[in-house]
Structure 1
Amino acid sequence: MLLLLFGTHLFLTWKTGLIQRKLPLAIRLSLTPDAAVGAETGNGDGGLSPFASLTTALASSLGVGNIVGMGTAVALGGPGAVFWCWITGFFGIATTYGEALLSLKFRVYTPDGQPAGGPMYVLEYGLRRKFAAVLFAVCGVLASFGIGCAVQVHAMADTLPVPPIITGLAVGLLTCFVIFGGNQAISRVCEKLVPFMTLFYLLGCLMILVANRAFLLPACRLILKCAFAPRAVSGGMAGSGLLLAARYGVARGLFTNEAGMGSAPLAAAAARCSDPVRQALVASTATFWDTLVVCLITGLVIVSHLLAREPALLASGVALSGSSFTWRAFSAIPCLGQPVLLFSIVTFAYATILGWSFYGERCLTYLFGPKALFPYRLCWIFTLVFAPMLELPMIFEISDLPNALMALPNLLGLLLLADVIRDETRIYFSGK
Structure 2
Amino acid sequence: MEAIMKLNGIVNGIVWGPWMLVFFVGTGVYLTVILGFPQLRYFGFMFKEVLGKIGKNAEGEGSISSFAALATALASTVGTGNIAGVATALHLGGPGALVWMLISAVFGMTTKFCEVLLAVRFREKDELGNWRGGTMYIIEKALGMKWLAVLFAIFTFFASFGIGNMVQANSTAEGLSLGFGIPHIYTAVALAVLTALVIWGGLGSIAKVTTYLTPIMALIYIVGGLMVIATNISEVPAALANAIKYAFSDPMAMPGAIAGWSIKIAMTKGVARGVFSNEAGLGSAPMVHATAVVDHPVRQGVYGLFEVFTDTIVICSITAIAILSSGVLTGEPELTGARLTLSAFQTVLGNFGVMILSTGLSLFAFSTILGWYWYGETAGVYLFGPKVTVPFKVLWILCVVLGAWGGAEILVNLWDLADTLNGLMAIPNIIALLFLSGEIRRLVREFDEKRRAGTL
Band of TM-score, shorter chain:
over 0.9
In 1, are the aligned partners of 2:281 and 2:429 still within 8 Å (CA)? yes
Quick one: which of 387, 395, 399 aligns to 1:371? 387
Q: What secondary structure is seen at the aligned counterpart in 1 of 2:172?
A: helix
In structure 1, the partner of 2:285 is 264
Residues 254-403 of structure 1: matches in 2 within 5 Å?
254-306=275-327, 310=328, 314=330, 318-331=333-346, 332-388=348-404, 389-390=406-407, 391=409, 392-403=411-422
Q: Does 1:224 align with 2:244?
A: yes
Quick one: which of 187, 202, 215 aligns to 2:235? 215
Q: Does 1:174 align with 2:199?
A: no
In structure 1, the partner of 2:9 is none
In 2, are the aligned partners of 1:15 and 1:419 still within 8 Å (CA)? no
Give, as a single letter, the amino acid of the residue that structure 2 aligns with 1:244.
Answer: I
Distance 1:34 1:81 in 2: 35
Report the alpha carbon displacement of residue 82 of structure 1 after superposing the two structures with TM: 1.0
Cα deviation per residue 1:109-140 (whole Å; 9 max; x = unaligned)? 34665422111110111000111111111221
Measured on the aligned residues, the alpha-carbon RMSD in Å equals 1.9
In structure 1, the partner of 2:434 is 415
Distance 2:270 2:421 in 1: 23
Cα deviation per residue 1:223-258 (whole Å; 9 max; x = unaligned)? 111112156323533783422221211111111100
* Range with greater deviation from structure 2 (221-230 or 200-209): 221-230
TM-score (norm: length of structure 2) = 0.88
In 1, are the aligned partners of 2:35 and 2:441 still within 8 Å (CA)? yes
Same amino acid, percent of matched pairs:
39
Give ranges in structure 2 of 5+ residues lacking alignment. Answer: 1-19
In structure 2, the partner of 1:132 is 148
Distance 1:134 1:336 in 2: 47
Report the alpha carbon displacement of residue 12 of structure 1 after superposing the two structures with TM: 1.4
Give, as a single letter, the amino acid of the residue that structure 2 aligns with 1:234.
Answer: M
Distance 2:51 2:160 in 1: 28
Distance 1:204 1:132, change over 3 A: same
Q: What secondary structure is seen at the aligned counterpart in 1 of 2:350?
A: coil
Distance 2:32 2:257 in 1: 32
In 2, are the aligned partners of 1:235 and 1:317 still within 8 Å (CA)? no
In structure 1, the partner of 2:220 is 200
Distance 1:128 1:169, change over 3 A: same
Cα deviation per residue 1:72-112 (whole Å; 9 max; x = unaligned)? 11111111111111111111001001111111111113466
Q: What secondary structure is seen at the aligned counterpart in 1 of 2:252?
A: coil
Q: Does 1:79 align with 2:95?
A: yes
Distance 1:231 1:398, change over 3 A: closer
Give ranges in structure 1 of 5+ residues lacking alignment. Answer: none
In structure 1, the partner of 2:5 is none
Distance 2:424 2:241 in 1: 39
Equivalenced residues, count: 422
Q: What secondary structure is seen at the aligned counterpart in 2 of 1:401?
A: helix
Distance 2:80 2:339 in 1: 13
In 2, are the aligned partners of 1:215 and 1:304 still within 8 Å (CA)? yes
Quick one: which of 72, 76, 87 aligns to 1:56? 72
Distance 2:83 2:321 in 1: 12
In 1, are the aligned partners of 2:127 and 2:386 still within 8 Å (CA)? no
Report the alpha carbon displacement of residue 211 of structure 1 after superposing the two structures with TM: 0.8
* Range with greater deviation from structure 2 (335-344 or 26-35): 26-35
Distance 1:142 1:112, change over 3 A: closer
